Structure 1
Amino acid sequence: MDVRQQPVIAVVGPTAAGKSDLAVDIALRLGGECVNADSMQLYRGMDIGTAKLSPAEMRGVPHHLLNIWDVTVTASVAEYQRLVRKVIDAVEVPVLVGGSGLYVRAALDDLEFPGTDPDIRARLEAELAERGPAPLYERLREQDPAAAAAILPSNGRRIVRALEVIEHSGRPFSATMPSYDAVYPSVQIGLDVPRPELDERIALRVERMWQSGLVDEVRTLLGQGLAEGRTASRALGYAQVIRFLEGEWSEEQAIAETIRATRRFARRQESWFRRDPRVCWLPYDAPDLLERSLARVADHPCA
């Protein structure tokens, strides 16, 4: 277990809620450093579409784990866990910030990431492509009811992963699923945005991204292998721009689909973080948001 004298501060919640700015505010007041927990901000060159802060917006606060992977690299939560814990152990006041729920949990909690077997994965993915998720889900219900209860029957990727782990390890996939067993003491602050406001903020953000040159950013990244990247090419905004550039969609369709997909993603983010009883939710637009956040940190027994 960790022996930190200070808690890790985590700023979480849905996309477009203002997490990055609050994290910088907290870091400035406490002499802290920001640590990225957004899976897509790990990629070099994916700046506009992931809403990375500019150097000016960072306001002199050190930021860790940005721009560390090429777009051709497949994301690995296990690798992120290894890297982020080195940073947390080295930084006196780490401020973890991001909306990738599993990455936040990988940083803070006792999560185990079982190995993979490419042959098993390929066989299961071929079966998924041929038959759809329903028969695979039924198999998972028979082999690991707890895992099946936690996975949507339509989520073929997660079903395949669960069956792969069961076959490869001989253990239930549910044994490796997230728990709330903390490795580090933490104060987790969630930004609460009413749904209509969040939907509007997302639409405005997507439109600003397009105006700021997202299409040109994607063109550049395609020249660096974006289309071959299993993770990066599926990122919100990037996947839609690729379909526009390939002539499948009009630009208006690509913008509308990005807004729609981002709103769906924001709902999943909020559901993930709402399940964690340790997250303290504060109104994103509270005039005293920073002071209320700092008060939560000060109230922590390790602070």
Structure 2
Amino acid sequence: MVNEKENVIVMIGPTAVGKTKLSIELAKKINGEIISGDSMQIYKGMDIGTAKIKRDEMEGIPHHLIDIKEPTESFSVAQFQALVRPLITEISNRGKVPMIVGGTGLYIQSVIYDYKFTESNTNEALRIELEKKVESVGRLSLYEQLKKVDPVSAQKIHPNNVRRVIRALEIYYDTGKKMSEIEETNQHDPIYNVALIGLTMDRSILYKRINERVDLMVEEGLVEEVKCLYDQGLRDCQSIQAIGYKELYDYFNGNQTLDEAIEALKQNSRRYAKRQLTWFRNKMDVKWFDMTPPITLDEKLNEIFQYVAGKFYVKEN
């Protein structure tokens, strides 16, 4: 628990809305350091598909929680919270302004609010048993099981998110409590002094940008990047469930053509952007800034800086 409220800037928004460039410019203006709030940019070797910032794009701004895990490793929202909160204090103690930038809503929510996780510690034996059940009867059977014991959680969790389905079942069978009931007890008062910035854009323009970004990713070598992971034998890993990777795995497995895989990637990215906006609007108290052209980055940067300065005092570099 944080004893004194530290200043934290959070910049959220859907994929392709322009968070990366704007966050760099804001960080330069306020002497900030950026903590990645993306659940997939933590993985090494997954650069193009996660739209990971390149070294030269950082413009000297320190970035944290990028490339900290191997693609074979799992990563949870609880681990993210445990890493980010001390990092916020460390950055603040150096006289810098911590900025969390990303699009994974639950991860960011877990940090800035008094978000406590379930009482259940990992029950390794139970987890292994549930994982074996996935192999023997399939993920949908396990999801149906979750729908029976905790329908509220089942409604929130996608059937393909096997890790979350297993975790919800593990909590239920280990504690006798539903994950949804435990999460309901979480307080949603910020434990930091937060300037919560949301970037949005006209939907049709955003979708066009997403499609163009996917085409650029393919040009930059996305297919080759994913093929490298595929050739290493990575299967059924949390990392490979990421958009941009699972679609191309379908192509490598012979389930669809490359054109079909790329089209599926575009469609899934657009759907994800829509889900991101819905999450942010329903779950977080966000100050929204419209990035729809012809607004310029400089104009929007000044508007956001004024908002941040009104929330807490920051010196302009």
- Count residues in correspondence: 297
2:7–2:192 contact (8 Å) kept in structure 1:
yes
Cα distance change of structure 1 residues 104 and 31 upon mapping to structure 2, 3 Å threshold? same
Q: CA deviation at 1:16?
A: 0.7
Give distance in 2, aligned partners of 1:10 and 1:161: 28
Match of 2:114 among 110, 115, 119: 110
SS state at 2:82 partner = helix
Q: CA deviation at 1:136?
A: 3.4
Matching residue of 1:294:
305
Matching residue of 2:156:
151
Give distance in 2, aligned partners of 1:276 and 1:198: 22
2:146–2:168 contact (8 Å) kept in structure 1:
no
Give distance in 1, aligned partners of 2:165 and 2:86: 31
Matching residue of 2:266:
259
Higher mean alpha-carbon deviation, 114-123 vs 206-215, is at 114-123
Matching residue of 1:21:
21
1:151 counterpart letter in structure 2 = K
Cα distance change of structure 1 residues 277 and 109 upon mapping to structure 2, 3 Å threshold? closer
Give distance in 2, aligned partners of 1:233 and 1:163: 22
Matching residue of 1:144:
none
Task: State the Cα deviation string for residues 69-94 of structure 1 (Å, max 9, x = none).
Answer: 00000122211211111211111301
Matching residue of 1:280:
287
Match of 1:232 among 226, 239, 246: 239
Give distance in 2, aligned partners of 1:209 and 1:168: 43
SS state at 1:281 partner = strand
Give distance in 2, aligned partners of 1:268 and 1:6: 30
Give distance in 2, aligned partners of 1:291 and 1:107: 27
In the alignment, is residue 93 of structure 1 matched against residue 97 of structure 2? Answer: yes
SS state at 1:42 partner = coil
SS state at 2:182 partner = helix
Cα distance change of structure 1 residues 220 and 155 upon mapping to structure 2, 3 Å threshold? closer
Give distance in 2, aligned partners of 1:68 and 1:186: 26
Matching residue of 2:50:
50
1:28–1:61 contact (8 Å) kept in structure 2:
yes
1:112 counterpart letter in structure 2 = K
2:171 counterpart letter in structure 1 = V
SS state at 1:228 partner = coil
Matching residue of 2:8:
8
Q: CA deviation at 1:128?
A: 6.7
Give distance in 2, aligned partners of 1:156 and 1:67: 22
SS state at 1:240 partner = helix
Structure 1 residue runs of 5 or longer lacking an equivalent are 142-146
SS state at 2:99 partner = strand
1:35–1:64 contact (8 Å) kept in structure 2:
yes
- Give me the TM-score of the superposition, normalised by structure 1: 0.88
2:228 counterpart letter in structure 1 = T
Q: Aligned Cα RMSD in Å? A: 2.5
Fraction of identical pairs, as percent: 35
SS state at 1:69 partner = coil
Match of 1:180 among 183, 188, 191: 188
In the alignment, is residue 208 of structure 1 matched against residue 216 of structure 2? Answer: yes
2:34–2:63 contact (8 Å) kept in structure 1:
yes
2:173 counterpart letter in structure 1 = E
In the alignment, is residue 246 of structure 1 matched against residue 261 of structure 2? Answer: no
Give distance in 2, aligned partners of 1:46 and 1:85: 25
Give distance in 1, aligned partners of 2:261 and 2:12: 27
Structure 2 residue runs of 5 or longer lacking an equivalent are none
